[in-house]
Amino acid sequence: MTPPQNSLHYASFSTPDGPFSVVANDSHVLASGWTWDIASLIELIHPTLRAADPAPGDQAAVPGQGSVLTHAAEAVADYYAGDTAALDSVPVAQRSGPFREQAWEVLRQVAPGAPLTYASYAQRAGRPAAVRAAAGACAMNAAALFVPCHRVIRTDGGLGGFRYGVQIKESLLRREAAPAPSPLADPRLESPAR
């Protein structure tokens, strides 16, 4: 369990999918997503991880350059440059009940290019019959991209929902898709049999 920190800091920057913001304490990313609206991200953070309620007129979070924010921003830039593993080393803290916390840890293990169905996600999270609870863990995930809920899709192959829009989810999944087969493996390009 991560102790609450005294202050929250944020960073916002542009990505190919639109604006992306990160809210962190001194040691962990607490919330992130495709928005400039920092207040909406702070609302997603579990109350025990938020800074003490600010006094009237104070900001709930201040712009920052902490090592966690710097690391997170670099990881997002590297991700969009093609290094989908760059996000793995960014520390994230979220709190909820035991199943949801376990489900979020499972999400961090889902490999890019290998999306899971909600049913298989529930199974990996230890409760095969809890498909709705698994979907709820995706819906309540505050740390989008770092906890890759976009890698969970419907059993019929549909994308399902995504807090930041299905277009962004589709873009992320396309970005993470396995590379196209080598032209050398294309049977149309093989030499004719002799």
Active site residues: 149
Phi, psi torsion values for 158, nearest 5 degrees: -70, 160
Quick check: 157 and 123 in contact, CB under 8 A? no
Quick check: 141 and 149 in contact, CB under 8 A? yes
Give the whole-angstrom CA distance, residue 186 versus residue 4. Answer: 54
Radius of gyration of the chain (CA): 19
Residue 66, classified by CB atoms within 10 Å of its CB into exposed (0-12), middle (13-18) or buried (19+), is middle
